[in-house]
Structure 1
Amino acid sequence: MTAPDPNAAFPLAGYNRLCFLKNVVHHPQISVGDYTYYDDFETVENFLRQVRYLFDFTGDCLRIGKFCMIASGVEFIMNGANHLTGAVSAYPFAVFGHDWQGAMAGKAYPTKGDTVIGNDVWLGYRAAIMPGITIGDGAIVGAYSVVTRDVPPYSVVGGNPAQLLRPRFEAATVQRLLALRWWDWPTAKITRYAGLLTGDVHTFLNEAESSVD
């Protein structure tokens, strides 16, 4: 049994608008897991342009898990977009130097930490993810959504701001899926279970939990 090569930049022969993202994006503040793909209507080079305000001096990172599905136009807004909100003015005086360069002495721009996308997450067309958000494993974010707060595992969210639309499965089933962490299995085992992974959740769980391999 064979599986796609996770180290292939373009896994679909003759089609270069879908990539296994980890092989295309090389940035010290971005990490991507195996088999996560990005599909773009124009060019996969657009992905880095969609990670907005990612600066080395902010120190935040974008961490994306395995087997994620990222549609064209998805944006990640990073902490470099933040301004002071509790001050008299939110204007970034110090950025422009001259006699304004000391305006931030003893102060720091707000940060919400790393942006973390779990495993098996589907980010729909032109969704926007705000700084410091964590999206749980198995979650689905609808097209054009603006995600301003953390998304629970195996939930479906949508809208602006994104709201919980429904859980994908009942709570006990979600806990069983999170315990299995199928995305961390060896590729050969994932390949054997691929048909079940695209079928009924209870059939998959019962088979996987009773397996000895």
Structure 2
Amino acid sequence: MIKRLCFWLRADRLGPDIPITHLMLYFPALMRMICSKRFNGFGEGSEFRPGAYADNCSSITIGKNVAVRPGTMLFAEKGDGVPGRIIIEDDVLLGPGIHFYCPNHSYKDASRPIPEQGYFYKGDIVVRRGAWIGAKSVILSGVEIGEHAVVGAGSIVTKSVEPFTVVAGNPARLIKRLR
């Protein structure tokens, strides 16, 4: 039991499999303390809600006034345990169930099973200030979502999104410019 408790307190992740995450719902001060220690940065007024999951927290930066909602998953690694980065700037609005993936499976060799081919990594994921990402969207490696950009719910974002634009779909495409 002590071994397990030590793991929960030291793990570089937060989520439903880490019981202390559930306590954060009832004790906001505990949530702030845990997130400030686990994440690379955790801004004032931000929340990490129970039901969200973050792996490699030390490679994730969350700006001010950001709520990471239930069902959201942040995977900040390049693959095989090598850290990538996820940076979410100030005043970003995140819907529930968004998935951020820094690594992606390699699939170039058709003669080998995909799980045996390792991973590829295009770059960090950056969400600029004031952006809004709709529920159940997927953000892939190397994507930058521009300032005040909007990503429609359920979108699969494979390429960077320009500032002040609206994108949606699979793959996400330009819907309109806000300026």
- So what's the TM-score if we normalise by structure 1? 0.54
Which of 63, 81, 84 is equivalent to 2:87? 63
Q: Tell me which protein shows more strand as a share of its residues.
A: 2
User: Is the counterpart of residue 31 in structure 1 residue 61 in structure 2?
Assistant: yes
The whole-number CA distance in structure 1 between the counterparts of 2:76 and 2:108 is 17
The whole-number CA distance in structure 1 between the counterparts of 2:76 and 2:63 is 22
Unaligned runs of 5+ in 1: 1-6, 11-18, 41-45, 95-107, 170-213
Corresponding residue for residue 17 of structure 2? none
Would you say how many aligned residue pairs link Structure 1 and Structure 2? 134
Shift of 1:154: 0.8
Percent of aligned pairs sharing the same letter: 27
Shift of 1:20: 1.7
Which of 152, 172, 177 is equivalent to 1:142? 152
User: Is the counterpart of residue 116 in structure 1 residue 126 in structure 2?
Assistant: yes
User: Is the counterpart of residue 76 in structure 1 residue 104 in structure 2?
Assistant: no
Using a 3 Å threshold, how does the CA distance of structure 1 residues 56 and 70 change in structure 2: closer, same or farther?
A: farther
Q: Is the 8 A contact 1:112 1:132 kept in 2?
A: yes
Moved over 6 A (4+): 22-26
Corresponding residue for residue 159 of structure 1? 169
The whole-number CA distance in structure 2 between the counterparts of 1:91 and 1:166 is 37
Corresponding residue for residue 192 of structure 1? none
- What amino acid sits opposite 1:82 in the alignment? H
Q: Secondary structure at the match of 1:120?
A: coil
Instruction: Spell out, residue by residue over 1:67-121, the C-alpha distance to the aligned partner (whole angstroms, 9 max, x if none).
Output: 0000111111221x32242564353438xxxxxxxxxxxxx74210111111101
Using a 3 Å threshold, how does the CA distance of structure 1 residues 93 and 75 change in structure 2: closer, same or farther?
A: closer
The whole-number CA distance in structure 2 between the counterparts of 1:112 and 1:36 is 25
Which has the larger Rg?
1
The whole-number CA distance in structure 2 between the counterparts of 1:63 and 1:90 is 32
Q: Secondary structure at the match of 1:28?
A: helix
Using a 3 Å threshold, how does the CA distance of structure 1 residues 73 and 38 change in structure 2: closer, same or farther?
A: same
Using a 3 Å threshold, how does the CA distance of structure 1 residues 23 and 66 change in structure 2: closer, same or farther?
A: farther
Using a 3 Å threshold, how does the CA distance of structure 1 residues 56 and 120 change in structure 2: closer, same or farther?
A: farther
Q: After superposing the two structures, state which structure 1 stretch, 55-64 or 141-150, moved more.
A: 55-64
- What amino acid sits opposite 1:147 in the alignment? V
- So what's the TM-score if we normalise by structure 2? 0.63
Calculate the aligned-residue CA RMSD, in Å: 3.0
Mapping of residues 1-213 of structure 1, within 5 Å: 20-21=46-47, 27-40=57-70, 46-47=71-72, 50-52=73-75, 54=77, 57-79=81-103, 81-85=104-108, 88-89=111-112, 91-93=114-116, 109-169=119-179
